[in-house]
Amino acid sequence: MDDDFWRPTHLTSEQMEERRLAGATLLRQGRLSQAEIARQLGVSRASVCRWAATLAQEGPHGLQARPIPGQLPRLDEKAWTRLGRLLDRGAIAAGFATERWTLERIAALIEREFGVHYHPRYLERVIGR
């Protein structure tokens, strides 16, 4: 590849996997040094070194993309509507000592009723809508 070849700054996990597997192919062929493979694929020599170690220990399977755990699911419209009904019933009905709703209490109610964690300061924005 020539030096003015465009390389995106952000790759999808599938694109990164494809690049690692291409590196594995080049490593197995044994014709290029790790530094040459790194240059050709636009990665650091340390990355190629890690790939080589993973390839030796786990085979090509070890270089496949792994799912990245995402955020907890957020409330959908139906859940927000249900939350509104719970708030309308009052804080005492929801198990609190007084009728005063605070962002911390609303966050606790959401976590208890829906199993979804919201930071109270974030709720200030979404409840304001």
pLDDT score of 54 more than 60: yes
- Name the token pair of 98: 């007084």
Question: Would the pTM count as exceeding 0.85?
Answer: no
Q: What is the pLDDT of residues 29-45, one digit of tens each?
A: 999 999 999 999 999 99
**Res 8: pLDDT:** 57
Q: How far apart are CA 12 and CA 31, in angstroms?
A: 28
What pLDDT, on a 0 to 100 scale, did the predictor assign at position 6? Answer: 46
End-to-end CA distance of the chain: give it in Å, rounded: 52
Q: How confident is the model at residue 14 (pLDDT cuts 50, 70, 90)?
A: confident
**Euclidean distance between CA atoms 114 and 24, whole angstroms:** 45
